[in-house]
Amino acid sequence: MTTQPGVLRADARRNRERILAAAVRAFSEKGADVPIDTIAKAAGVGSATLYRHFPTREALVEAAYRNELARFCDSAAGLLADNPPDRALRLWMDRFIDYLAAKHGMADALRAAVATGADPFSETLDKLSTAISTLLRAGTDAGLLRSDVGPLDVGFSLAGIALVTSAPDQRDRAGRLLDLLLDGLRHSPSGANRTRSDH
């Protein structure tokens, strides 16, 4: 029986997604030197299938990181479709903390990839800025969030929260700090929200 090309492409996409998900888990939990065969087994594919998609360890590390970044950033649109903008932003903030935790777990693998000349971070700032801008704009348009805070300020604030609450037992504290950050971003009808330059 002949398999339709479209089915093959769909299977290949599913295999790729399984490999990338398994790679993130493996690199995060076991470090940069985890055997490629272990990742293939966890993904439910053969090593040959993995190497067809990612011919080198560095290519796999870079693709796994970029895939996590894209999945995380692209989730902003779905959150906005299902929630009010301020709630969508708060949910996305939670995902940001989880994303940075995964990135931290992959740190050794990412450093090894960079050492070979790869640049997995080349799109990070643009993608994060775009996602945050989308959320802030929606909140501003709805009259829920202030308009005088830029995406980079929010991104750096989130990174700071992630840095000081990186231990697993600090996740509740991270949530409280995220609530405070969101409160600071809320629109004040009285005009109380002012930037430092207004003082």
149's tokens: 């805070």
Calculate what percentage of the chain has a pLDDT beyond 70.
Answer: 90
Pairwise pLDDT comparison (1 vs 199), residue with the higher score: 1
Distances (CA, A) of 71 to 9, 52, 64, 168, 198: 20, 22, 11, 22, 38
For the beta carbon of residue 2, count every other beta carbon within 10 angstroms.
4
- Straight-line distance from the first to the last Cα atom of the chain, in angstroms, rounded to the nearest whole number: 75
Task: Kindly report, residue by residue over 61-91, the tens digit of the pLDDT.
Answer: 999 988 888 988 999 999 999 999 999 999 9
What confidence score (pLDDT) does residue 84 get?
97
Most confidently predicted of 23-32, 116-125, 186-195: 23-32
How confident is residue 190, by pLDDT bands cut at 50, 70 and 90? low
**How much is the pLDDT for 197?**
36
- Give the pLDDT score at 189: 66
93-111: per-residue pLDDT in tens? 999 988 887 777 788 888 8
Q: Write the DSSP string, 83-94.
A: S-HHHHHHHHHH
pLDDT band at 8 (very low <50, low <70, confident <90, very high): low
Lowest mean pLDDT among 20-34, 46-60, 132-146, 185-199: 185-199
pLDDT digits (tens, 9 = 90+) for 21-66: 999 989 888 888 899 999 999 999 999 999 999 999 889 999 998 8
pLDDT value of residue 196: 39
Where do the structural domains in the chain lie, given as residue ranges?
Answer: 57-188
> Does residue 120 carry a pLDDT above 60?
yes
Q: Is the pLDDT confidence value at 4 over 70?
A: no
Residues recorded for the chain: 199
Instruction: Output 120 or 190, whichever has higher pLDDT.
Output: 120
The CATH number, out of the four listed (3.55.30.10, 3.90.79.10, 1.10.3470.10, 1.10.357.10), of the domain defined by the range 57-188? 1.10.357.10
